[in-house]
Structure 1
Amino acid sequence: MYEVAILVVLYDCNISQSVTLNSIIKRKFKNAHLTIWNNGPHKLKSIDVSFLLDSGLNVEIKETLHNESLAIIYNDFLDSNSSQKYMILDHDSSITESYLDDAFTIKSSELGIPHIFSQGKPRSPTINRKPLLSIDTPLKSNDSVIAIGSGIVLGSDIIKSIKNEYDTVFDERFYLYGVDTTFFYRFNNVMKNDGIKFIHGFNHNLSRLEVENEEVTSFRFIERAYDQGLTLRYYNNKKMQIYIIIRITLSVFIKSIFRVKVKMNYLKFMDAYISGKHYRDK
């Protein structure tokens, strides 16, 4: 069993270009496994990982060039490695030594949530929809904690508890958006926030804050609609589902009358809710 298993998911990025991989080597590792998962859209130009091996990491490379569901990737990683704790990272995070130091203190019964900044402001986690300001902030059992997945550290006992209730840790009905959020819905339902430990974090690029071309923006628009529709169907009771659908439908109708831009793809949202499936699963 490893002390820590680390996953770094690459997308449109080669190993040597990854900010994350180039920053984690600040630390010397012992009894640690690293899975580099290239999720496309192109094959890796090089599989030279010598700079990572020099840091004491046992390195494995996987490739899925069709932009596989993040939920499937995360679950495969958790199931394929025996470890006391598991770290999940994107390829473009500036990992700090304080984050790594704190991550290694996470026990098998704990969930480490890093304090993430973007554009100079704290972004994740949020407690009751407000960004965390200090990692020393006390937490109540009924607080709603949501965080981005990058940087979380899952203890092995936490994983077992969620699997006992849901079979999988991450909900594979989601592909990109919603994977992180629904994980925390599952965690909160099973653990009632028990075991959460806020840790020092790092800077991370958030797509919602970036200026992107029209094609990428359209893609994210559709993905968010499916996230919203599926989340409504699977993580809300029937009464709340009806209330939200009526509210959104009325809002879209009124805005269309006054020619106000609607900030969601209503048809995709309803398709997700009614079918209960992501469009890639059809």
Structure 2
Amino acid sequence: MKATMNRGESLKPKLIVLVVLYKKTISASPTISHLLLQNKTLFDLELVVWDNSPEPCPEQEVAELSAAFDQFQYISTPENVWLSKLYNQVLRSNTYDYALLLDQDSEFPEYYFDKLNAAVLGFPKISLFLPIVMNNRKVVSPGSFVYFKGKHWKKIQTGAIPAKNVLAITSGMVISVKVFLAHQMKFDERLNLYGIDTSFMLRYSKFEEQLYVLRIKFDHDTVLWSNPSADVMLSRFRNLKGTWPKILSDRPVALVLAYFYSKVVSLKLALKYQDLRFLK
């Protein structure tokens, strides 16, 4: 990887946008629909669609999307590559100044790129830009890291803020290439789904003092904030529980607290779903 704006020239920032699909076509992705509405002239823009679906998207849809972007990549991996690994592969193998990570189901306003462009140009020393992510009218990202887990913000903070103890989901993150070049950072490839964002944010705050929260709201949905079936919740909860020993390995007190917290949550879920599997 390398940056493009390092030659003293007046250039547009190079923004690489990574959208990850899973069992959803290009035409069915709200994220891609909203990307097409953005002012693409504000950045030297490249779109990468990484498709983890068992079957690739129809060739016609790929061709139509390619025609809408000067720089475009479509990568199909039916083996369903872990998010942490595909993030690292894209970030490692491309040239850019900023990278925007997106899932397939985000909705955001048409002026998002306008606000993002103003922020990255106005705050060149800041290396992480985050939207305000909403789920059912609740702010779910950013949030605070308290002892060993995340906590929702009661009051929204925007602009440049201290990075310490701030958590955020990866979808919507805009990361400067400087983070990876200066600090040799990468996403933790021991994690395949949950915990990837928490691990990244905790490590980011060790190297960088500030981040920037955009005055932009994303609408986003995920399983843990909905009411899934017992089988789905059990799988996701076990995945989440398994991340804590990895994320908190250098925080022994937090790891102990997380262990006892997981026991409490296991009991609550067993009672909610009337399913003893949550206790195992």
1:197 aligns with 2:212: yes
- Aligned pair partner of 1:104 in 91, 110, 117: 117
- Aligned pair partner of 1:187 in 193, 204, 208: 204
Structure 1 CA distance for aligned equivalents of residues 263 and 222 of structure 2: 30
With over 3 angstroms needed to count, the CA separation of the structure-2 counterparts of 1:243 and 1:18, relative to structure 1, is closer
Task: Report the equivalent of 1:227.
Answer: 243
Structure 1 CA distance for aligned equivalents of residues 116 and 262 of structure 2: 44
The one-letter code sitting in structure 2 at the alignment partner of 1:159 is F
With over 3 angstroms needed to count, the CA separation of the structure-2 counterparts of 1:249 and 1:80, relative to structure 1, is closer
Structure 1 CA distance for aligned equivalents of residues 222 and 15 of structure 2: 26
With over 3 angstroms needed to count, the CA separation of the structure-2 counterparts of 1:250 and 1:63, relative to structure 1, is closer
* Contact 1:126/1:132, CA 8 A, preserved across alignment: no
How many residues end up aligned between the 2 structures?
A: 254
How far is 1:138 from its partner? 6.2
Task: Report the equivalent of 2:176.
Answer: 155
Task: Report the equivalent of 2:133.
Answer: 116
How far is 1:248 from its partner? 5.3
1:27 aligns with 2:27: no
How far is 1:249 from its partner? 8.7
Q: How much identity, in percent, do the aligned residues show?
A: 24
Structure 1 CA distance for aligned equivalents of residues 79 and 277 of structure 2: 26
- Write the deviation string for residues 53-97 of structure 1: whole angstroms up to 9, x where unpaired: 454341111122222211101111111210111000001111222
Task: Report the equivalent of 2:226.
Answer: 210
Q: Which aligned pairs between 1:84-103 and structure 2 lie closer than 5 A?
A: 84-103=97-116
1:76 aligns with 2:89: yes
Alignment gaps of 5+ in structure 1: 268-282
Structure 2 CA distance for aligned equivalents of residues 201 and 249 of structure 1: 31
Structure 1 CA distance for aligned equivalents of residues 199 and 77 of structure 2: 23
Task: Report the equivalent of 1:15.
Answer: 26
* Contact 1:116/1:202, CA 8 A, preserved across alignment: yes
With over 3 angstroms needed to count, the CA separation of the structure-2 counterparts of 1:214 and 1:242, relative to structure 1, is closer
With over 3 angstroms needed to count, the CA separation of the structure-2 counterparts of 1:182 and 1:265, relative to structure 1, is farther
Structure 2 CA distance for aligned equivalents of residues 131 and 242 of structure 1: 24
* Contact 1:99/1:114, CA 8 A, preserved across alignment: no
Task: Report the equivalent of 2:165.
Answer: 144
With over 3 angstroms needed to count, the CA separation of the structure-2 counterparts of 1:248 and 1:93, relative to structure 1, is closer
Scaled by the length of structure 2, the TM-score of the pair is: 0.78
The one-letter code sitting in structure 1 at the alignment partner of 2:176 is G
- Aligned pair partner of 1:131 in 150, 153, 156: 153
SS at match of 1:97: coil
Q: Which aligned pairs between 1:236-255 and structure 2 lie closer than 5 A?
A: 236=251, 238-242=252-256, 245=259, 247=260
With over 3 angstroms needed to count, the CA separation of the structure-2 counterparts of 1:47 and 1:160, relative to structure 1, is farther
* Contact 1:15/1:47, CA 8 A, preserved across alignment: no
1:59 aligns with 2:75: no
Task: Report the equivalent of 1:173.
Answer: 190
With over 3 angstroms needed to count, the CA separation of the structure-2 counterparts of 1:244 and 1:176, relative to structure 1, is closer
How far is 1:190 from its partner? 1.4
SS at match of 2:27: helix
The one-letter code sitting in structure 1 at the alignment partner of 2:50 is W
**Greater share of strand:** 2
With over 3 angstroms needed to count, the CA separation of the structure-2 counterparts of 1:241 and 1:26, relative to structure 1, is closer
Task: Report the equivalent of 2:7.
Answer: none
With over 3 angstroms needed to count, the CA separation of the structure-2 counterparts of 1:64 and 1:132, relative to structure 1, is farther
Scaled by the length of structure 1, the TM-score of the pair is: 0.78
For the aligned residue pairs, the C-alpha RMSD in angstroms reads: 3.0
